[in-house]
Amino acid sequence: MPGAEDGFEVTPWGVRGSIDYDRLTERFGTERLGGELLGRLRRLAGEDHFMLRRGIFFSHRDLGRALDAHEDGRGFFLYTGRGPSGGTHIGHLVPWVFAKWLQDRFGATMYFQLTDDEKFYSKKGMTLEEARGHAYENALDFVALGFDPGKTRIILDTEHIRTLYPLAAKVAAKINYSNTKAAFGFTGETSIGMIFYTALQSAPCFLEDRPVLIPLGVDQDPHFRLTRDVAPKLGLEKPALIHNVMIPGLRGPGGKMSASDASDALYTTDDPDTVKKKINRRAFSGGQADVEAHRRLGGDTDVDVSYQYLRMFFEPDDAKLARIRDGYRSGSVTTGELKAVLIGAANRFLEGHQKRREEARGMLGRFVLEEGGARWPER
Ligand code: TRP
């Protein structure tokens, strides 16, 4: 795998080791998000977002071009997706929450791709029917975040192939096996479905005749590196990307929250007691071995998963977060107390989310892409 010698590995199908984001930016060839461009994004959005302030979104490709399109009146559209391998956890919600903010601030249309085919190919033992079932449940979480039904379309690969395939075919024609092998580390044993799949993930980039901006976990970047190589050869516009860091699993640091390990992730459907138990039993602590040492030396917020979840997702209020951070670092807040803060915040969020998620069941029809337009043979 390219770059494994740095002690960490990031591919669309797995993260190993503890990620050095400076090195990853170099390895992937993306740009750090900061300085003038970040200021411009905030100015055009008309407000700041805590995920920008805290570097949760840390890198980009061509964000400036998407903003140019916004300023010259053409606008950009948004696209992100989910491989339905299981329930939705907090890590999945990060780019979606940010995408919802972008939709509100820029009035952009949004496409959400559910890649049931991808997970059927890549997850041993998963049937296509199971992947479709997860896709439906994942879609509820997406809709629950409050996207505008008039401006948002959900795409399921095996359902909406008529829309996707002509675009995927054009992309696929320009990618050869060596390209995919270099990008993803495929071998002779890789399913041919996986080898083609990247073309399907590219397809939504070209659904509208203007640039797309994709908020996404940085692990998905390799797909769009290929898309960006191919786009000019097809006379199409390169996608712009804005990348978020990987959210650690409860046992963190290193790796990412994975949908295939129920005890390591906070799911959107977990009940209050499950949340409490998971956090108390599993959340990796940056605290000292005993309370006496903790009072004296304080805790390490950089590795403490409870603190990181508050920073990355559950506590948007900077002043409150700073109080928690200072208290924990100085030792006046113990690990038990910090966990209690996270449990409270997570359960408050989930209570509202789960209510909206149930309401979403009756709304899904308004979000699912309808494939109208030309049919063959013409009718
Ligand atoms: N491959 C992604 C996953 O496994 C799903 C996905 C499809 C996606 N299209 C996307 C993710 C666009 C980010 C942006 O989760």
Do residue 167 and residue 42 come from a single domain?
Answer: yes
Written as six digits, the tokens of 58 are 């840390």
The predicted structure's pLDDT at residue 309: 98
Do residue 171 and residue 282 come from a single domain?
Answer: no
Do residue 218 and residue 324 come from a single domain?
Answer: no
Of 151, 137, 132, the closest CA to residue 369 belongs to: 151
Does any domain span residue 112? yes
Does any domain span residue 369? no
Which residue's CA is the closest to the ligand 1 atom numbered 7?
81
Of 161, 162, 177, the closest CA to residue 117 belongs to: 161
Query: Does position 355 have pLDDT exceeding 90, yes or no?
Result: yes
Residue 217 CA: nearest ligand 1 atom is 13
CB 220 near ligand 1, within 6 Å: yes
Given 188, 218, 250, the domain boundary residue is 250
**What integer is the mean pLDDT of 82-95?**
97
Do residue 75 and residue 203 come from a single domain?
Answer: yes
Which residue's CA is the closest to the ligand 1 atom numbered 9?
81
Q: What percent of the chain has pLDDT over 70?
A: 97
pLDDT tens per residue, range 275-295: 999 999 999 999 999 999 999
Does any domain span residue 10? yes
Query: Does position 2 have pLDDT exceeding 60, yes or no?
Result: no
Ligand 1 geometric centre to CA of 83 (Å)? 6
Do residue 230 and residue 94 come from a single domain?
Answer: yes
Task: Identify the band that residue 377 occupies on the pLDDT scale cut at 50, 70 and 90.
Answer: confident
Task: Identify the band that residue 379 occupies on the pLDDT scale cut at 50, 70 and 90.
Answer: very low
**What integer is the mean pLDDT of 174-195?**
94
The predicted structure's pLDDT at residue 249: 95
Do residue 31 and residue 138 come from a single domain?
Answer: yes
CB 80 near ligand 1, within 6 Å: yes
Does any domain span residue 373? no
The angle subtended at Cα 267 by Cα 263 and Cα 273, nearest 5°, is 75
Residue 286 to residue 268: CA distance in whole angstroms? 25
pTM, whole model, 2 decimals? 0.96
For residue 171, the domain's CATH number is 3.40.50.620
Given 224, 250, 276, the domain boundary residue is 250
**Cβ–Cβ < 8 Å for 184, 222:** yes
The predicted structure's pLDDT at residue 180: 93
Residue 237 to residue 222: CA distance in whole angstroms? 17
Task: For a ligand 1 pocket test, name from 121, 196, 200, 201 the mutation site with the most ligand atoms within 8 angstroms of its C-beta.
Answer: 201
For residue 311, the domain's CATH number is 1.10.240.10
Do residue 212 and residue 279 come from a single domain?
Answer: no
Q: Please provide the average confidence, as pLDDT, over all residues in the chain.
A: 95
**What integer is the mean pLDDT of 1-27?**
85
Is the CA virtual torsion 121, 125, 130, 134 positive or negative? Answer: negative
215 conformational bin, left if phi > 0, alpha if psi -120 to 50, beta if neither:
beta
Query: Does position 71 have pLDDT exceeding 70, yes or no?
Result: yes
The predicted structure's pLDDT at residue 136: 97
* H/E element, 352: helix 335-360
Does any domain span residue 245? yes
Alpha carbon 127 to its chain centroid, in Å, reads 24
Alpha-carbon distance values, 76 to 36, 67, 71, 183, 360 (Å): 20, 8, 10, 27, 26
The predicted structure's pLDDT at residue 13: 86
Residue 285 to residue 304: CA distance in whole angstroms? 5
The secondary structure of residue 74, as a DSSP letter, is -
CB 91 near ligand 1, within 6 Å: no
Do residue 350 and residue 213 come from a single domain?
Answer: no
Residue 306 neighbours by CB under 8 Å, 6+ apart? 279, 283, 285, 335, 338, 339, 341, 342
Do residue 276 and residue 324 come from a single domain?
Answer: yes
**Cβ–Cβ < 8 Å for 165, 229:** no
Q: What percent of the chain has pLDDT over 90?
A: 91
Written as six digits, the tokens of 124 are 């041993």
Domain that holds residue 316: 262-360
Of 156, 144, 146, 62, the closest CA to residue 102 belongs to: 146
Do residue 238 and residue 355 come from a single domain?
Answer: no
**Cβ–Cβ < 8 Å for 207, 164:** no
170-174, 257-261, 371-375, range with the lowest pLDDT: 371-375
pLDDT tens per residue, range 208-223: 999 999 999 999 999 9
Does any domain span residue 205? yes
Task: For a ligand 1 pocket test, name from 77, 80, 158 the mutation site with the most ligand atoms within 8 angstroms of its C-beta.
Answer: 80
Do residue 245 and residue 303 come from a single domain?
Answer: no
Ligand 1 geometric centre to CA of 377 (Å)? 32
**Cβ–Cβ < 8 Å for 212, 33:** no
Query: Does position 3 have pLDDT exceeding 60, yes or no?
Result: no
CB 82 near ligand 1, within 6 Å: yes
Which residue's CA is the closest to the ligand 1 atom numbered 3?
83
Query: Does position 169 have pLDDT exceeding 80, yes or no?
Result: yes
Task: For a ligand 1 pocket test, name from 15, 98, 113 the mutation site with the most ligand atoms within 8 angstroms of its C-beta.
Answer: 113
Ligand 1 geometric centre to CA of 238 (Å)? 17
Task: For a ligand 1 pocket test, name from 216, 219, 243 the mutation site with the most ligand atoms within 8 angstroms of its C-beta.
Answer: 216
Query: Does position 254 have pLDDT exceeding 90, yes or no?
Result: no
**What integer is the mean pLDDT of 228-251?**
97
Number of domains in the chain: 2
Helix (H, G, I), strand (E, B) or coil at 243: strand
Task: Identify the band that residue 371 occupies on the pLDDT scale cut at 50, 70 and 90.
Answer: confident
Does any domain span residue 368? no
Given 230, 250, 270, the domain boundary residue is 250
Is the CA virtual torsion 73, 109, 213, 356 positive or negative? Answer: positive
Does any domain span residue 226? yes
Residue 238 to residue 232: CA distance in whole angstroms? 7
The predicted structure's pLDDT at residue 256: 79
The predicted structure's pLDDT at residue 274: 98
Do residue 240 and residue 280 come from a single domain?
Answer: no
**What integer is the mean pLDDT of 175-202?**
95
Ligand 1 geometric centre to CA of 69 (Å)? 24
pLDDT tens per residue, range 89-123: 999 999 999 999 999 999 999 999 999 999 999 99
Query: Does position 372 have pLDDT exceeding 80, yes or no?
Result: no
